Amino acid sequence: MNIEVKVPAVGESVTSGIISEWLKKSGSYVESGEVLFVLETDKVSSEIVAEKAGLLTTKADEGAAVKIGEIVAIIDTTAAKPAGGAAPEAPKDSAPAAATHASDAPVKTSPAARRLIEESGVEPGTVPQTSPGRVSKQDVATFLTSKSEAPSAPPAQAAAPAAPTVPLGQRETRRKLSPLRRKIASQLVSAQQTAAILTTFNECDMSAVMALRKRTQDAFTKRHGVKLGFMSFFIKAVVESLKAVPAINSRMDGDDHVQNSYFDIGVAVGTEKGLVVPVVRDADAKNFADLEKELSAAAQKARDGKLRIEDLQGGVFTISNGGIYGSLLSTPILNPPQSGILGMHTIQERPVARDGEVVIRPMMYLALSYDHRVVDGKEAVTFLIRVKDCIEDPTRLLLDL
């Protein structure tokens, strides 16, 4: 019996995706529940598993764009499981793969190799072949590189043409954007075109938070099983600041102004495939340990590509920490439809004035980008100063001051 493997629905607004990787190859035997391929959409990546055991035959290549409901593979459930769990491989060509060719066999030259031969002036018959009877572009590039590394000819002889540092035809790579990267690009352009984005800056002294972390880190880790980081302090500071300046906890919806009364905070996480923003729900009701555990779990899910669409929706404000990459200062872009985003930056020891004296303190620049359509400059500055005060005196967060 043949079972059709279809692209499943992974969200209401998702209509298509890309098969980013086949984890089981065509012709292999798969068990029920084994991951067949990774489906990448403009929101999340999902691992698609086999419903039944059997022999797999794929119908779509890696990198192919597929629609929801499209058949991408067939599983033959009547096929017997081969010994060792692997399907028998097709007989391989017995011809040797040595880089030689018979003098009487016709030699084919790929178009890219032919162009490279013409441009470099190489005699076609002198290029060794890695595949008998065929000269590839890589064969020509390897031959040119070996010639450039050979001892130079005597001055009386004409010098051979030097091979380019990067072989012709390999100077650039063109590929389509992934769905996630296209979605990120669309969101960023949309934010720039639809919102009146303005950024205000300040800086905060991290001495108190760093001292508190150092003093309590061992006890905190031992009790809760997770380290105390900076992000939980900033989430708490943002929540307190949103309570003090409700205008930033709002958004535009067409001609309507929507005021939020909850505190779901998005935290930007960088992954190999792009930036995602998992949301910490009801951050105002969680303590530092709860926040650190949720942040750690969300970051791991993001790196593993296991975030669900629900994990990314509904945030009212975003925090982005470019400081972990060494960024000193930036102007973050809004995460639509939110009206505010806080940019954290690297901690750097700098001379500052304290009580009439110049001292060295660990300082961090803060940047608040906001939608000027719903947030006035006074409110934005008040919000950022509130964040600064909470970080410089973390007892405010602990005592709800």
Positions annotated as catalytic residues are 372, 376
DSSP conformational letter for 254: T
Structure tokens at 203: 């800086």
Structure tokens at 118: 């013409």
Cis peptide before 337 (omega within 30 of 0): yes
Report CA Rg, the chain.
Answer: 29
C-alpha closest to that of 171 among 129, 116, 131, 128 = 116
Instruction: Rounding to the nearest 10 degrees, give the CA dihedral for residues 119, 124, 129, 133.
Output: 120
Q: In what order do the strands lie in the sheet with 71-76?
A: 2-6, 71-76, 54-58, 29-30
Instruction: Rounding to the nearest 10 degrees, give the CA dihedral for residues 100, 102, 106, 108.
Output: 0
Cα(40)–Cα(50) distance, rounded to whole angstroms? 17
The residue to which tokens 């097709």 are assigned: 90
Ramachandran region, residue 11 (left: φ > 0; alpha: ψ -120 to 50; beta: rest): left
Q: Is 364 exposed, middle or buried (0-12, 13-18, 19+ CB in 10 A)?
A: buried
DSSP conformational letter for 178: P
Q: What are phi and psi of 65, to 5 degrees?
A: -85, 130
| Beta-strand relationship, 274-276 and 357-371 | unpaired
CA 246 and chain centroid, separation: 32
